[in-house]
Structure formats: structure tokens, C-alpha cells
Structure 1
Amino acid sequence: MASTLSRVNSLKITFLVDNSIEWMTKFPPGFTSEVGAHLFQQKPPIDPRTNVPILDLENYCCGAHGFAALIETQVDGADPHTILFDTGPDSRSLIRNIQAMQTPINPIERVVISHWHSDHSGGLLSFLDYRASESSPQRLFPVIVDVHPDRPIARGIAPPPTYRNVIGRIPEDPSFDSIHRAGGVVETHNEGHVVAGGTVYVSGEIPRITDFEGGLLGGVRWYENGSAGGEWVNEENIMDERYATVDVLGKGLVIFSACSHAGIVNVAKDAIKTFKRPIHMVIGGFHLAGPEFQDRIQPTVDFLSSKMRPACTYILPMHCSGFAAKVALRAALGESCVPAGVGVGVHVQGDGAVDHLVHPPTIV
């Protein structure tokens, strides 16, 4: 599978759903803020009194507990490919932020749902409906919805200290039938595969090999027992979770891990084993928020900061990473830890002239 992933000359990312908003952070080269996009790339309203653009906050992005990233790849001389990785938690946040960022939706050819949790799948049907309403029939082509086949009936939350008392269920994920009715073409995959013209790899089930990443503590799943009804069953290993990665010429892998229930170290190790390429950037939720995950923060930071050679250029802890993990990563990595959020754009420009100098990584 690694041999079929094409290295790209250009990777553009727009974060369309995330828990955080970052307007005032000093970003590294290649990163752009939402404010700059509104003021300089769009057509903001002009204040008639002062003759300067108005920060039209009514039409800016909103944060939400979830994740969605627009990924655009291009191999030199070929047409670009655009996919949407996750869709946020609800029917409103993704659409509002697409409108705020004036994101073209016609080029989106595939939606990849990282795993069956509604903070990642909850905006899917509203996106498909919006896409149909905003596109002319002549330009509307079927969009593939790429999901793991093992869709749960329900998932719930059983908090510490016992992890046995289920306090609530997570909203239902879209069904295959509802996706079809909304105009999506369902593809189910439990194995690694390449999409977007061979430029994006979507993983299969992620091997759990670390000794400290123990899955989603308190994760439970509802199973039906026929006439006997049903019951909640512990499900710490969310085995339907998948990551995506893009290989950029002269830079290496850019990894998208939306929630990292498998552990971001397990994700990184699997990508390195699969592709034997250094990791340029790690993006997404690391699921280290909450006191029950406190013990995982330091070994995660140690791996990302000192166990890979060469080290990642940038780490972007988002969504469910948690404040304590972000502080620890920033302390260890300095400005290589980028506090990205919704509305932030990233352009990773490849360099084929130096790609032969990019050596396989090692883990110490």
C-alpha cells in the first residue's frame, strides 16, 4: 500500500471545525488565520464613516466540540484533489464555517469519517444537503462517503472513577440509508487504502502496541440481545478509528488523527512502519483531556519531542487534546507546537529537489 501513495507537490489544509479559535497567535510560515482571510481575501463590508473594512463577526467561524479538515492535494502537472476529513458534531457548525470561510464545496470528491463518534460524523447529512442545494445539477457529481463498516447501534459515556455508570449516550451516527438518501455513495473500508487520485492514505485498523495508550477509558457500546433487549458493553478500543496521511515531497508525512483513541504514538508508529518516511506534521485530537488521561501526557510528549529522528517539524494538538497536553507539548517543543484552530489554513509546499535527502526515520 505504501508504494501506491503518490508524493504531492502541494498540500493545503483548512480547519473547518475545531474546539478552539486562534486569531492572535503568531503562526509559522505557511499558516494563515481566519482574520486575514476575511480582511484580505474576501470582500468584507466597508465602514462608510472610516472607509476601512469591518470585522464582520456575525459571519466568522464558531468553535464546536468536534473536528473537520478540508484537505487539498496536488501532484505537479495534475488536477488537484479535495477531500473532507470528518464533519464536526452537529447540523450547524460545519455549514456556518464553510460559509464563513467561503469554502468551495463542488471540488469535494470524498468525505472520510475517521470513526463512528458523532462529534466527527454529526455534520455529514447537513453537508450533503447543503452541497446539493448549493450546486447546479450539471456540476453535482456523487460524493463518496468513506466509512468503517462496523457502525455501532449506540455508544455511551461511563465516567471515572468506576467507568461502569453510563450517564448518557452519544448522538446517533448517520445510517448508511440516510447517507444514501442525502446523495452520498457509501464506501466501507476496514483496510488501508489510497484515495484522492492516490495522494491520501486512509488507514485500516490501527495496531495498539504502546504500553501506556489504553484506549478510551469509560467507552461503552450498546449491543442488542434479540428478545432479551440489550446492554452496554465496555469498549475502550475504538477499533473503527482510522487516520489519514499525505506524503509531501521533500518534507515527509502529514498525519491527520481526528481523535487518537488508539493513541497518537500508535498512529505515528504505524505511519512510520507503513511508509518509512519521516513525519513532517501531526494534526488532530490526541484525546489527552481529563484527569483520567493525565498519566499519558508525559510519555506522549517524550515520544513526539525526543523519540523520533528526525523530529516532527510541527505538532498541531487540536479538538480533544486538552489544555494540559497543549501546555506540555509547547514547553517541550516550543514554536514547533502550533495552537491551530478553526479557520486556520496551512499550505505545505513540497520540494522535489531535496526529496532525495529525506532519509527514513528511526525511533529511539
Structure 2
Amino acid sequence: MKILGIVDNYKKSDEYKTDWGFSVAISMDHYNIIFDTGNDPEILKHNMKKLNLDDKNRNIDLLFISHNHSDHTGGIKYFSNNFYLNNIAIPYDIDKNILELVSSLRNTRTMNIKSPTTLDMNIHTTGIIGEDIKEQSLVIETKKGLVLFVGCSHPGISKIIETVQNTFNDRIHFLIGGFHFYKLNEDKLQNEIDYLKNSDIDFIAPTHCTGDRAKNILKRDLAERFVEFGVGYKINI
């Protein structure tokens, strides 16, 4: 499995553009996934070109949208206009305009997600988690364990992790995405960091809405388990 950052607050080099948003390309054995689509279509387009991902004949087997916020849905039209989308997994409470757009696509299966669902072989969604801001996360089974992709972790990263551990018969090998720590007070932040530090997750890549301060603390406390990520970063699993 190869993971490549497309849109993020962080970047590997100045050839890429940052944005308050998140999008990741995942490729494995002839199966391509886009997890979330960032905020600004022009920044998405720029980074896609720099990363050599803008081949208009490219098939995207699965477009996965974590939740109904514009910093994760802003590039949906870019993908629907420029690529062949075989499957789209969207939260059941997605914006009406987005639902109309993806439902109108020919030869694309749209899955309105509410509960845990197997999307393809070894590829799953946690289903919708949370109450105030609902969100789904992507879970991929690998020989090394589960790889868990989170958008903003609005329901709480600990709750998402516990849901995955209770749903899937395997341990989490790699966790990547936004943890939404930047708004937490001191006590709550320390509790969440301690939770991740004491978990048995092999590698953790906090990015997007995790926040600079929280990210630096995690880098210190997780040591070799910490993985840097952003636009242009590549991870092989």
C-alpha cells in the first residue's frame, strides 16, 4: 500500500501548496482510493499536477468522504469532472447539493453510509460515529494489521479507535489523519496524547487539524512511532 498526501496544512517542499483541508491518495494492487478532497479545487488541482496524479484517464475505484465539512468535500466536483469514479462512499447526512452531484454520475455507484460496511475486499468503513458532528473513517486490512484513516476525528480519536478495535478482529498498525486537537484545553489534550502514547498502534501520522503544538508534543512523546505527513509525503506499508 502506498499513501500520498495531496491536500494538507503541511507540505514536504515549496513546490506544493498548503490549505486548511485534507486529501490523500491510496494505491494498492491496481486499486486506487481518494480519501477526502480538500477545500480549494485550485489548490487540489495544482498539487495533483505536481504529484503526477492528474491523468484524466485514471480510474478512481473509491472516493471516500469522511464528513460533511467543506475542507474535506471542496474538491468532489474536480474529481467527478476529471476522473472515472467507480464508487463513492459518502455519509448519509451529506450536503444536498453534493448528494445530487454524485447521484447524477453515470456508471458510478454511490453508497450512503450509516453503519459499518465492507466497501470492497479488505476495505471497510467504520460507519457514522459521533453525535454533534458525524464522521466515518476508512479501515483497510493489511498483513501488518489495520490501517486507519481519519478525517478530523470530530467524535474523538479515542472513540474512533475503540470503535475500530471493537468492530474488526485485528490490531491497528498505522493511524493517519486529523485528530482535531488544536481546540482542546490543556487537560483534555494531555489525556488524548496519553491515550495515543499508551496505545499499541505501531505508527501514527497526525496532521491537518491536529494543531502544531499537539503535533510537536506527539512527535516528542511517540518518538520512533511518529510519522511526518503532509502534501508530497509518501508512506509505504
Compute the TM-score of the two structures, normalised by the length of structure 2: 0.90
Q: Distance in 1 between matches of 2:114 and 2:5?
A: 25
1:98 equivalent to 2:36? Answer no
Which of residues 179, 197, 206 in structure 1 aligns to 2:102?
179
Cα distance, 1:342 vs. partner? 0.7
Deviates more, 1:316-325 or 1:101-110: 101-110
User: What amino acid is aligned across from residue 69 of structure 2 in structure 1?
Assistant: H
1:147 equivalent to 2:86? Answer no
Q: Distance in 2 between matches of 1:14 and 1:293?
A: 31
1:324 equivalent to 2:202? Answer no
Which of residues 106, 116, 120 in structure 2 aligns to 1:192?
116
Matched ranges for 1:1-364 at <5 A: 11-23=1-13, 60-74=15-29, 80-103=30-53, 104=55, 106-131=58-83, 141-152=84-95, 174-181=97-104, 185-195=109-119, 197-206=120-129, 237-239=132-134, 241-249=135-143, 251-290=144-183, 292-306=184-198, 308=199, 311-348=200-237
* Cα pair 1:95 1:130 within 8 Å, conserved: no
Q: Structure 1 residues 316 and 266, CA, compared in 2 at 3 Å: closer, same or farther?
A: same
Cα distance, 1:205 vs. partner? 2.1
* Cα pair 1:255 1:282 within 8 Å, conserved: yes
The residue matched to 2:209 in structure 1 has which SS?
coil
Q: Distance in 2 between matches of 1:129 and 1:120?
A: 17
Compute the TM-score of the two structures, normalised by the length of structure 1: 0.60
User: What amino acid is aligned across from residue 271 of structure 1 in structure 2?
Assistant: V
* Cα pair 2:63 2:85 within 8 Å, conserved: no
The residue matched to 1:327 in structure 2 has which SS?
helix
Q: Aligned pairs, how many?
A: 234
Q: Structure 1 residues 340 and 145, CA, compared in 2 at 3 Å: closer, same or farther?
A: same
RMSD of Structure 2 on Structure 1 (CA) = 2.0
Q: Structure 1 residues 294 and 122, CA, compared in 2 at 3 Å: closer, same or farther?
A: farther
The residue matched to 1:145 in structure 2 has which SS?
strand
- 1:162-216: CA deviation from partner (whole Å, max 9, x where unpaired): xxxxxxxxxxxx4322234565543211111122x3121111122x6xxxxxxxx
Q: Distance in 2 between matches of 1:90 and 1:343?
A: 17
- Residue identity (%): 30
The residue matched to 2:221 in structure 1 has which SS?
helix
Extract unaligned runs of 5+ from structure 1. Answer: 1-10, 24-56, 75-79, 132-140, 154-173, 209-235, 349-364
User: What amino acid is aligned across from residue 214 of structure 2 in structure 1?
Assistant: A
Cα distance, 1:61 vs. partner? 1.9
Q: Distance in 1 between matches of 2:85 and 2:27?
A: 18
Q: Distance in 1 between matches of 2:185 and 2:171?
A: 27
The residue matched to 1:177 in structure 2 has which SS?
helix
User: What amino acid is aligned across from residue 141 of structure 2 in structure 1?
Assistant: D
Q: Tell which structure's C-alpha radius of gyration is larger.
A: 1
User: What amino acid is aligned across from residue 259 of structure 1 in structure 2?
Assistant: C
Q: Distance in 2 between matches of 1:294 and 1:318?
A: 19
The residue matched to 2:140 in structure 1 has which SS?
strand
Q: Distance in 2 between matches of 1:73 and 1:271?
A: 21
Extract unaligned runs of 5+ from structure 2. Answer: none
